[in-house]
Amino acid sequence: MNSKTTSFRSIGSFLLQIPLWLYFIVSVYPLFWMISYSLKNNDEIFVTNPFGFPAHFRFENYVNAWTQFNIPRYFMNSFIVSIISTLCILLLALMFAFAVARMQWKFRTAVRTYMIVGMFMPLQVIMIPLAILVRDFHLTNTYGALIIPYIAIGLPFSTMVFYGFLVSIPREIEEAACIDGASIYRLFAQVILPLALPAIATIAIFQFLNNWNEFTLAYILISDENMKTLPLGLLFFQGSYSTDWGAMGAVMTIASVPMVLVYLLLSEQVERAMTVGSAVKG
């Protein structure tokens, strides 16, 4: 009797899990398919073996992708743009949040509200004047054309997360620093900064991912082949190389590996970073 109910229960829990594993396949199989066709030739992809694992690995697709196309250049551009803008966002947002959350001055609530407004601005509403600004400052087709807007766009959200974090630190810290004779700059650099490390890590991941994958602004502001970031550069393969699916698959796999690795290594932090918005905005 007892074993009977247990087996019913296990069948029940097995049936219960079916939708979860079905969606698992929906979510992962396209990626598996991409990786496997990056290791096949057209004949295998189209006719002999469209669904399964490659019969033997054609790594030459990867060699072709890496050497014949501009992939290394796109990687470098993406890396430079994402790293610099993320670092600047962290520094500027933390300084701003420190001034608003910890320092004593008259208009801090007003200034904080002014910054919050930016969180609700869709990109489309700044797109046109921004493109003209970039042109008038002669930044078109430079790293600055992306880095400067990325910093500005990253600020409202980041300052709000840092603000929430810094406000909760006890007031005694400043008193101690003041009595010890530490300057306000030392207080910021040597006390507040280390304390804020968990929030810094969250924002760093969030902004790096955002900047690395940003498409729309890059598409509008960058046309020079040598300045293209990865999401932009990959567009190029669509037309000219769509006949060689293997190489295209290899290009797409190469482009995806870094972010997937970052995610797999830091999955908890990445999920928290990506969803922290709900805590701030909601």
Partner 1 sequence: MNKYLGNKPALALFLLPALLLYSVILIYPVLQTVFRSFYDWDGLSTASFAGLTNYRELFSDPLLGTSLKNGALFALVLAVFQIGLGTILALVCANPRVRGRKLLKTAYFIPVVLSVTVVCQLWIAMYDPTNGLVNKLFDVLGIPYQQNWLVSPTQSIIAIAFVNAWQFMGYQFSLLYAGVKAVPEDYFEAATIDGCGKWRAHWHVTLPLMRETFKFCFTIAITSGIGAFVQMLIMTNGGPGTTNYTLTFMIYRYAFMESNYGYACAVSVLLVMISLVATVVINKVFDRGQHA
- State yes or no: residue 75 binds partner 1 (CB under 8 A): no
- State yes or no: residue 164 binds partner 1 (CB under 8 A): no
- State yes or no: residue 84 binds partner 1 (CB under 8 A): no
- State yes or no: residue 104 binds partner 1 (CB under 8 A): yes
Question: Is 63 or 281 the residue whose CB approaches partner 1 more closely?
Answer: 281
- State yes or no: residue 139 binds partner 1 (CB under 8 A): no
Scanning 24-32, 52-60, 61-69, 194-202 for contacts with partner 1 by CB under 8 A, the matching segment is 24-32
- State yes or no: residue 103 binds partner 1 (CB under 8 A): yes
> The tokens 């900064």 sit on which residue?
193
- State yes or no: residue 66 binds partner 1 (CB under 8 A): no
- State yes or no: residue 19 binds partner 1 (CB under 8 A): yes
Q: Among 66, 79, 143, 263, which residue sits at the site for partner 1 (rule: CB under 8 A)?
A: 263
Residue 147 CB coordination number (10 Å): 20
Q: Among 39, 145, 146, 148, which residue sits at the site for partner 1 (rule: CB under 8 A)?
A: 148
Cα–Cα distance for residue pair 273/204, rounded to 1 Å = 9
Q: Report which DSSP code applies to 192.
A: I
Q: Report which DSSP code applies to 142.
A: S
CB of 133 to partner 1, least distance (A): 7
Asked if 68 and 236 count as a contact pair (C-beta separation under 8 A), the reply is no
CB contact burial 63-96 (16+ within 10 A = b; e otherwise): ebbeeebebebbbebbeebbebbbebbbebbbeb
Asked if 120 and 156 count as a contact pair (C-beta separation under 8 A), the reply is no
Q: Among 2, 3, 105, 168, which residue sits at the site for partner 1 (rule: CB under 8 A)?
A: 105
Q: Among 8, 46, 53, 59, which residue sits at the site for partner 1 (rule: CB under 8 A)?
A: 46
Restricting to residues 182-241, which ones interact with partner 1 according to CB under 8 A? 184-185, 188, 209, 212-213, 215-216, 219-220, 230-232, 234-235, 237-238
**Residue 154 to residues 47, 123, 214, 234: CA-CA distances in angstroms?**
47, 12, 12, 24
Q: Among 76, 80, 111, 195, which residue sits at the site for partner 1 (rule: CB under 8 A)?
A: 111
Give the total of residues touching partner 1 (CB under 8 A): 96
> The tokens 């002669």 sit on which residue?
138
Helices (H), the chain: 2-37, 42-43, 60-68, 71-101, 108-117, 124-136, 144-167, 172-179, 184-186, 193-195, 197-213, 216-221, 230-233, 236-240, 245-265, 267-281
Question: Is 1 or 20 the residue whose CB approaches partner 1 more closely?
Answer: 20
CB of 134 to partner 1, least distance (A): 10
- State yes or no: residue 275 binds partner 1 (CB under 8 A): yes
- State yes or no: residue 17 binds partner 1 (CB under 8 A): yes
Cα–Cα distance for residue pair 23/11, rounded to 1 Å = 19
- State yes or no: residue 173 binds partner 1 (CB under 8 A): no
- State yes or no: residue 55 binds partner 1 (CB under 8 A): no
Scanning 63-71, 79-87, 196-204, 267-275 for contacts with partner 1 by CB under 8 A, the matching segment is 267-275
